[in-house]
Structure 1
């Protein structure tokens, strides 16, 4: 499973809409949305390319979402960094109308935790393990949800990473955000310039196990409490007929 697929699968559980009215800890205390303008074009009969302009000051990223009905439900395609201005949605169903929108998100992140996994893959014993430590949980012992996301004090603290096997890490932390709509587990693999979302978790969760990808043997992780901002305009585009191969059979 790719990082994008892993995040999109988890994000399907977190689809709330609400105002993100404040910046993350590293931003100034005041911010305003200047708005995002989204457009869509067919880059082939069954490929759609999204482009957008505008800025949401204080946002730490955007969520790209799509639906096949105007009223939804919308599905997360990807969490993208604030500097990204395009998204390519390939190999779509022919003759189908697709609807798209963007939502910014903001919120403060924890201090990172460094993890180095053992070499190799899962042993036979690991493969038989039911990974009972992995599902997201709210233990109650590490939840102190007293600060709005607009405050720096809402950043998660005490992030601890425990290596469970060559491809598994169990994370625990203390959640301080009173009005978060989701939490992001973010990863920066060794050699990568920036963090990216690895999993989307619900509000109040303080325990989660990640099954890593091959390029994640050595990485930094952090938890971010987030709230979503005002969505962009919605666009729709209908795909055409799938092109046939031009090759002539012998």
Structure 2
């Protein structure tokens, strides 16, 4: 991703942004269980120095995965409530390692039209 659009901002208001890259290998032992409208995940944390875990979802018919949940380090389970249309989605888990923070970017929104 090389750009970002932040919709619905308040006119003539300053905002500050930073970005932080992340990398992480895919986990191979993600297990899921669906009970009613909840999907529960478990996995084995095999890394002693991760920043956390990123759970991603690919909705039925979608080409790409999207982030859906970030955990802290040393976690091995989480749950989500299924939203309409998420039945049959695919999931994957990444171990997170964060890179350095970017300088702060200051932007002020324009006047309301």
Normalization by structure 2: what TM-score?
Answer: 0.88
Map 1:136-151 to 2 at 5 A.
none
Tell me the matched-pair count. Answer: 113
1:197 and 2:63 are equivalent in the alignment: no
Structure 1 residue 172 displacement after superposition: 0.9
Picking from 59, 73, 81, the partner of 1:211 is 81
**1:221 corresponds to:** 91
Structure 1 residue 199 displacement after superposition: 0.7
Residue aligned with 1:225, SS: strand
Q: After superposition, what is the alpha-carbon deviation per residue over 1:156-181, rounded to whole angstroms, capped at 9, x for unaligned?
A: xx32111111x211111101111111
Picking from 178, 183, 197, the partner of 2:48 is 178
Q: After superposition, what is the alpha-carbon deviation per residue over 1:117-167, rounded to whole angstroms, capped at 9, x for unaligned?
A: xxxxxxxxxxxxxxxxxxxxxxxxxxxxxxxxxxxxxxxxx32111111x2
Structure 1 residue 89 displacement after superposition: 1.0
Structure 1 residue 206 displacement after superposition: 0.9
1:163 and 2:37 are equivalent in the alignment: no
> Mind listing any 5+ residue stretches in structure 1 that lack a counterpart?
1-83, 112-157, 244-250
Residue aligned with 2:15, SS: strand
Q: After superposition, what is the alpha-carbon deviation per residue over 1:69-113, rounded to whole angstroms, capped at 9, x for unaligned?
A: xxxxxxxxxxxxxxx2221112212332111121110111123xx
Task: Find the aligned partners of 1:204 and 1:86 in 2 and give their Cα distance.
Answer: 32
Structure 1 residue runs of 4+, over 3 Å off? none
Normalization by structure 1: what TM-score?
Answer: 0.43
Residue aligned with 2:33, SS: strand
Cα RMSD between the aligned structures? 1.5
Task: Find the aligned partners of 1:205 and 1:234 in 2 and give their Cα distance.
Answer: 30
Task: Find the aligned partners of 2:65 and 2:106 in 1 and give their Cα distance.
Answer: 31
**2:21 corresponds to:** 104
